[in-house]
Structure 1
Amino acid sequence: MPHDALAGTGVTIRTADPSDVVAGVQPKWVALPESTEEVAALLRAAAEHDLAVTPVGGGTKLDWGPPPERCDLLIDLCCMNEILEHAAGDLVVRVQAGTTFESLNQRLSAENQELALDIPIPGTTVGGLLATALSGP
């Protein structure tokens, strides 16, 4: 059973429920990685067991585009929401993919900075923005 192979990754895995549907397609499992190493382990296990993978962050754009042909494993990046580095004087910030723009801008505003992007969908994550090119080129 593929779930056993996923359990070997050390990542929290749960059975998907109706709230996890991606454009009308029900995944079998949901993984909640907390690091890039865990995401890599999940992707290796999924490749070894021919599992179709769909990443999700804030879930704000899961109905964009055509539905996936199948979705065995939903990789939910909600736990990867940390601001890893903010060097305000150098205007550098490093964040994980599941970080929302609201939380990022809140942190930046403490240093009188902002990310000058118009994000029209509340709850958009950095990963989602990059995946969809929501802010333009």
Structure 2
Amino acid sequence: MRILTIIAVALMPLPGLADTIVAARTIRAKEIIEAGDLLLKPDAGASDVTLHDLIGQEAQVSLYVGRPVRASDVGAPAVVERNQVVPLIYAANGLQIVTEGRSLSRAGVGEYVRVMNLTSRATVSGRVTRDGQILVSQ
């Protein structure tokens, strides 16, 4: 019986060793990550992201040399900066209203941001478009 147990354990697949993506240099928060900024460190454990996922993204926190880069450490590059004057657009049922607002935080494409309407001083939330406009919905 003991021999069967040893054979069964020997036939079980071993977990594969995977590469970990690490920073090749110190990358400060708000910097765009380029291909030369990252390295693959062999046999250090599995990464939750791929190189393709990271290149072109913006570092949300400082990334230090040799430390693993996680998906939560990066995000979409900011299109709208804090205190930037941006166009606010409200569109519904054929009606479109356009005015200016001041962004209250940084945000990337598709993210929601709070914006102060410069005319009414009301604070609204909207989604950032590729060209830096804010689409406000009800």
Q: Under TM normalisation by the shorter chain, which class is it?
A: under 0.3
Larger Cα-atom Rg: 2
TM-score after normalising by structure 1: 0.23
Structure with higher helix content = 1
- Which structure shows the bigger proportion of residues in strand conformation? 2
